[in-house]
Amino acid sequence: MTTAAVILVFFIAAAWTEFSPEKIAAGIPRIGEYFGKLFSIEPKGSAHPIGVLALPHLFGGVREPQSIAYWFYRIGTYLSLLWQTIEMAILSTALGFGAAFALSFPATRIFVGSGTIVFVTRRLLEFMRSVPQVVLAFILVWPFGIGPLAGVIAIAVHTTGTLGKLFCELNENVDLRPIDGIRSVGGSWLALMRLGVVPQVLPGFLSYALLRFEINVRSSTIIGFVGAGGIGQELKRVIGFNIYEEVSAIVILILLIVVVIDLISEQIRHRFIGAQSFNAATS
C-alpha cells in the first residue's frame, strides 16, 4: 500500500517535471560528450581534441600539451582563490560561532525566566537557518557588491542558526549542580553562565564548530556562483565560457581541498577534544 503510493507519487512528480526516459536517453550521450570534453584539450595548430594528460608528456613544461603544467597553467590564480575560499569559511565559522554562543544562552529555557525571550531567540535562530544561504548571499550582493563579503555574511548567518540550535541542545543537558553552587554564593546571571555552564559545554561547542567548518568550506566553494567570492565565482566563469580543461582542473582542486580539510579537521577533533566529548556531541 505504502509502496504503491510512493511509486504513484514518483510517476506524478516525474510527469510534472517533464522527466521522461526518452529525455534521459537523449541526454546521456550529451553528458558523456561533455565529460569527455572536460578531459580533453585542443592545442593550437591541431584540429582534433586530445586527452588532457598523456604519460610521455606528464612532467613537461607549461608549453607542452598533455603535461600537468599545461593543464594547471593557472594554478597560481586557483590557489589564491582556494585560499580565499578557506579564509571565507574560517571567518564565517568564527562569526557564526560567536553569535550562536551569545544567542544559545537566552534560547535555553532552563537558564531564562522569561518565556518570551526564549521564544523570540528560538524563532530568530530558526529563521536564520531556514533561509537558504545561497539565496541570502544573492540578496546581499546587491547592497555589499560583488565579492566575498556577501558570501561571508550569508554563511555566518546560516552558521549562527544551525550552531545556535545545537548549542541550545547541549545547554539543556548541563549538570545543574555547579550553577546552584555559584548561585548560592551570590553569582550574577553572567557569572552563572561563565563559570557554571561554559566549562561544561565548551568542548561540545568547539566540536560542533569544527564539523560546521567542514560544511562551510563546501558552502564557500559554491557561494561564488551568485557573485559572492571564492573559487565558485571562477568555476562559474569557466563553465559559462566553456573553457573545458579549466573546469576539470578547478573541480579536481575543489574535491582535493574538501577531502584535505575533512582529514585535518578529523585529526584535530580526535586529538584536542578527545573521543569522549566528540561522541557526546554528535550522538
Partner 1 sequence: MSGASDIAAERARHPEVFRSKGWPRWLLLGGVFGYLFYLMWLFDFDRVVTDLPKVWVIVRLMLDWTGIAEWDHAELWRSMLETVAMAYVGTMLAVVLAVPLGFLGARNVIPRRVFHFFTRRLFDGLRGLDQLIWALVFVRAMGLGPIAGIMAIAVAETGVLAKLFAEAVETIDRKQVDGITSVGAGFIARLRFGVLPQVLPVMISQTLYSIESNSREATILGLVGAGGIGLRLSERIQINAWDQVAYIIVLILISVAAIDTASRYLRLRLIGTANA
Report the interface residues with partner 1, using CB under 8 A: 2, 6, 9-10, 12-14, 16-19, 23-24, 27, 30-31, 33-35, 87-88, 90-91, 94, 127, 130-132, 134-135, 138-140, 142-145, 147-149, 152-153, 218-219, 221-222, 225-226, 229, 235-236, 239, 242, 247, 251, 254-255, 258-259
Q: Which residue lies nearer to partner 1 by CB, 64 or 87?
A: 87
CB of 156 to partner 1, least distance (A): 11
| Number of other residues whose CB lies within 10 A of the CB of residue 16 | 8
CB of 91 to partner 1, least distance (A): 4
Q: Which residue lies nearer to partner 1 by CB, 28 or 54?
A: 28
Cβ 95 vs Cβ 157: under 8 Å: no
Q: Which residue lies nearer to partner 1 by CB, 46 or 77?
A: 77
Q: Which residue lies nearer to partner 1 by CB, 67 or 160?
A: 160
Helix (H, G, I), strand (E, B) or coil at 42: coil
CA–CA separation, 34 and 232 (whole Å): 20
- Phi, psi angle pair for 242, to nearest 5°: 55, 45
- 49 alpha carbon, distance to own chain's centre: 35
Q: Which residue lies nearer to partner 1 by CB, 73 or 225?
A: 225
CB of 67 to partner 1, least distance (A): 24
Cβ 231 vs Cβ 85: under 8 Å: yes
CB of 14 to partner 1, least distance (A): 5
- Secondary element (H or E) of residue 183: helix 177-184
CB of 60 to partner 1, least distance (A): 27
Q: 41 has which bridge partners?
A: 50
> CA of 123: how far to CAs of 92, 116, 120, in Å?
21, 11, 5
